[in-house]
Structure 1
Amino acid sequence: MVSLKKSIAVFTVMIISFVGLGQIQFEGKVIVDDLIPVVNAKVTNLKSGEFTYTNTLGKYKLTCNLKDKLLIEAKGFSSKKIKVKSKGSRTHLVLLKKAGSDKIAIQNGHILNTKELNEYLESKANSKPKDYSRYGNAIQIIKDHHPNVKADEKGLVIRGGSSLMGNNYAAIEIDGVLVDFDALKSIPTASIKKITILTTSQSALYGSNGGNGVVKVTTFK
């Protein structure tokens, strides 16, 4: 009987050691632009099927084996696979290349600091001009890239705008000059470098002209 008990005890210890062999508590961080945490992103070990979610700092912990592969997913972002390393990992997620992907990420609670995200996207847009030549006119560009702006035959309306002038149409500025709606429709799309939408709260410098917000167009000069 004594001999049997010893055999069982040794066998149990061997099983526990085998389960823990090679496993590590892998720590990582999911971010945008080196500083904006991606919150509640799902992190899945593709080998074991175990998963966890990032916290408000974008951090997570997951028990893994070295060289396991993790899948990181968050709505509005491109998913990404990484390999488990002994020193943890910083993973940069990139927004999907479609209009409104930043809003999808925010609505799903993945980005808490929306101001930092907007500043990052603005700086990124400034550093690399887009090619709008495939569009027929500037109105089509605005509809595609700025869903909060509505267009009719008379002008553009930024959601949330209100005016003392009797209408809800936004002011239009091209290269620093206020113009009418027809001028916006006639501008060659290949010449457009950037389109910026200023809401009512952002257009105080325009006085009464900015009461309904401003659509700013910058061209390649």
Structure 2
Amino acid sequence: MYNRFVTQIIVCLLISCSIQAQDRSIQGKVTTFENIPLSGVEVQVKSTKQVVKTDTLGRFSVACNNKDKLSFFAHGFNKQDVKLKENTKFVAVNLHLKPGEKGKALAIGYGHVTDEDKLSAISSLRDDHDDFSNYADMFELIRGKFSGVQVVGDEIIIRGNNTMGGSNAALIVVDGIEREGSILGMLPPHTVKSIDILKDGGSAIYGSRGANGVVLIETKKGDEDK
């Protein structure tokens, strides 16, 4: 009798824990190029296969287990998976636009980005589409792959974003940290994951610092650098 009572208690606790896990709520936001919100992005919960879509501000909310995984899909962008930890409450995801005009056309055509001018002011390149290790240095890579971009010494000049009476150098941001242009001479191309060139409205988030455009560089992490 006692063993049956203990077993019933354990079963009830397991059911209660399972229900609580399913009721866990995760909030999040999906963007591209760090600050442009994406609407209509599909967010899927691995454990339940539930799918929700982001709103016009890129926000979403889903119920999931304590340790779960979310998958993010949007037309014109590379799919991204995020593993959740037990203490995760908010997830910020930055999707990478696929290179070329087709990626932009899909993103705009499916309504993920409503302001066409935002994406027209942006160029993007990823290592998985163009092997960066083929280039001697970052200056050669940027000079050869981005039209309208010049390399003058250790400065990157983006045509159409010139400051009157001051420096015309673009702002360099590596892994979210603003750096001097000289960092490009010390950064091996094979360690770089992606390069995004922002100008006009795309660089507005950086204020006056991004007046001449912004070069966003993301490096590889851990076993990605192989």
Name the TM-score, length of structure 1 as normaliser: 0.47
Max radius of gyration: which structure?
1
